[in-house]
Chains A and B, each alone.
Chain A
Amino acid sequence: MTGTEGSVSKEVPVVFHGEPGGGLAVAFWATLKRDLVLLLRRRSEVMNPLVFFAIVITLFPIGISPDPQLLTAIAPGLLWVAALLAALLSLDSLFRADYDDGSLEQLLLTPQPLAVLALAKVAVHWLLTGLPLALMAPLLGVMLALPAGSYGVLAVSLALGSASLSLIGAIGAALTVGLSRGGVLLSLLVLPLYIPVLIFGAGAVQAAIFGDGVMAHLAILGALLALALILAPLAIAASLRISING
C-alpha cells in the first residue's frame, strides 16, 4: 500500500458535462479491442465451436458412407447445418460474462448509444467464430468430396451468412442473458430466424456444385446481412434493457 492513497483534496472542483458529443468511435474500438483481448485469453471458448464443426463433419463420412457421389449431394447442407449449430453453440456466452461481472450495467449506463456498442460485441463474435468457420469449411469440404470449384462460394456464403447469424443470435442472447439456463430457450428463439440464411447459404453452394449462377443466392445473403446490420443492433439494445430490467 502506498502513502499516496486518498490524496484527493488538491484536485480541481467538480465540472459538469454538457450533452455527449463525440467519443463514439473511441468507445466502439475500445469495446471491440477489449472483447478481442478477452476472448483471445480464453482460447478454449474460441476453439470450442471450431472443434465441434470439425468433429461433426469428420464423423459423417464414417457414419453414412464414403461414397463420393452421395457425400457431394449432401455436403452443402451438412456443412451449413454444422456451421450454424457451431455458431449457435457459442452464442450463449456472448453477454453472459458481462452480465455476471457487472460490465453490462456499465455498458448500459454509458452516454454512448448502446446499439453501436452491442454491434462491437457482435463483430468480435463474428471475427472469432463466423470468420474462422468460413475459412475452415473448404478444408472440411474436401472430406465430403466437395468439388474444388465450390470452395470459394462455400467460404464466401458462410462468411456472409454467419455475420447474419451472429447478429440475429445476439438478439436471442440479449433476451436470455438474465436467465440462469437460457441455452435451450435461446435456440428456440433464434432457430426460426436462422432458416432463411440456411436456405440461401446452402443453396449457393448447391448452385456452385451444379454449375448454376451463385450470384442470386449470394446477393440475397448480402441483403439479409444488410437488413440484420441495420435492425439487429437496435433489437439487441432493446433486449438488453429488458433483461437488465428483470
Chain B
Amino acid sequence: MQSLGGRPNIFPYLLLLPALIITLVIVAWPLVETVRLSFTDAALKPTENFVGFANYEKIFSKKFPEVIGRTFYWMAISVSLKMIVGTMGAMLLNSRVPGRDFFRVLVMPPWIVPIAIGVFIWAWMYNGQFGMISGVAQYLHIIAGPYEFLGDRTGAFYSTIVTDIWIGTPMVTIYLLAAMQSISPDLHEAAWVDGAGRMYRFRRITLPLILPAIATMGLLSAIWTFNSFDIIWILTKGGPRDATTTMIIDTYKTAISRNKYGEGAARAVMIVIFLSSFAGFYFFMLKQFAKRSLAK
C-alpha cells in the first residue's frame, strides 16, 4: 500500500495490528496448541512425548466413527427442525396479527433464560413420576403409567433434540424476521396487484430474498448445534449407553473427565476439520445455487 506521495504507507497496517494480535492470541494460538497436543501423549503426568498419529489411530479404532455418525444425525434433525420452525415463526411474527409485538417478545425467553436453567426445567418435565409431560399424557389416557423420556436410548436421543430445538429456535426466528422486514413492501404489493397469492409471493419474493439469511443462519445453527454441550450433558451425560454421546461430549469425557489431553485434542481437531469441511461445502452449494438463480 502506498501513499499519494509514492512512499509506503504503513499506517493502515498499524491500525490492523491490535486486531491481528488479538486474533493470533485468542484464535490461532489455542488452535495451533491443540493440534500440537494431538500429536503427544499429554495426560496428567508433567512430561509429554511426541506420538505421531497414534492418537488418531486410537480414536478411529474404537467407537469414534459411530460417534461421528450420531453427531451428524443429531445435528441434521435439530438444525432442520429449527430452520423450519424458525422460518414459520418468523412468517407469523411478520404478518399483521393483533398483539404482534407481544408475541415477538414472547418468543425470546428460551433464548434469554440461561441454558442450564432451561435444561434443568426440561429435565424435570421429562421425569416420568413428577414431570408435566408424562402427567398430562397419563391424565389424557395417552399412556397407562409414568414414562421416563430419558429412560431409554431412543427417548433420550430425541428428548435432547427437542430441548435443543426449544433453545435454538428463537434465534432463528428473530434473525429471519429481521431479514423479512428488510424486504420492501412495494414488492409484495406489486405482486399482489398482479394477482399473486400468498404462497406464490412467499416462494417467489420472500424466500429468494431471505435465502442468504437462511444460509447464514443455517450454517451458524449447524456449528452451534454440532458443538452443543450443556444440553446433552445436563440431561443425559451422553447416556444411556452412549445414545447421546456426540463428538463434543466424547471430547470432553476424554480430555477433561479422563485427563487424556492428547487424545482429547485429537478429537477436538477432528471437530474443527468436520466443521470447516461442512462450512466449505455449505458455501460451495450456496454459490452454485446463486449461479443457478442468476441464470434463470
The reply to whether chain A is a binding partner of chain B is no
